[in-house]
Amino acid sequence: MKKIMLLAVLLICSSVCLQAQTATPPADYKIVFDMSSGDTVNQIAVTREIGLITSYRPDAKLEVTIYGGGLNMVLKDKSKVAAAIQEIVASKKAVFKVCAMTLKRNNVDASQLVPGVEVVPDGIFEIYSKQKEGYGYIKVGH
């Protein structure tokens, strides 16, 4: 009896695993990345991740919303990933949006941003709005 129960459990588990592996990916792939980290490791990681995602899902809609401590990521004179951001924006793989309140709090003008970075009134509201539009949410960190 125990052998039959064990076999039944194994059969159920293996069918669930098989079903998960053969599941069709969603028709739309929409992600908003929450970037509030000043850590350049995180900033490099998100630009790398965009490349990986778009290599197998070129139709993906990706956005990186920057606020708070993540500001240096999009400042021309401080960003370690400025070239990557410009390439990503130019190739339309993703959009980068920075919070206007973060700019104001740090006395930064939009002219100081990496070319192609957009300004939104409120970074957190931007993320919330994207989630309401069906975007998945990823908090960038390690």
Structure tokens belonging to residue 26: 């969603």
Q: How confident is the model at residue 142 (pLDDT cuts 50, 70, 90)?
A: confident
In this predicted model, what pLDDT tens digit does every residue of 69-116 receive, in sequence order? 999 999 999 999 999 999 999 999 999 999 999 999 999 999 999 999
Asked if residues 63 and 95 have their Cβ atoms less than 8 Å apart, the reply is: yes
Give 8's pLDDT tier (boundaries 50, 70, 90).
Answer: very low
Domain boundaries, the chain: 26-139
Pairing type for strands 61-66 and 118-120 reads unpaired
Number of C-beta neighbours around residue 67 at 10 A: 23
How far apart are alpha carbons 95 and 89 in whole angstroms? 6
Over residues 35-73, the pLDDT tens digits come to: 999 999 999 999 999 999 999 999 999 999 999 999 999
Q: Cβ(75)–Cβ(114) under 8 Å?
A: yes
* Cα(142)–Cα(132) distance, integer angstroms: 26
- Class of the 26-139 domain? alpha beta
Q: For residues 62 and 3, which has the higher predicted lDDT (pLDDT)? A: 62
Q: Please tell me the pTM assigned to this model.
A: 0.81
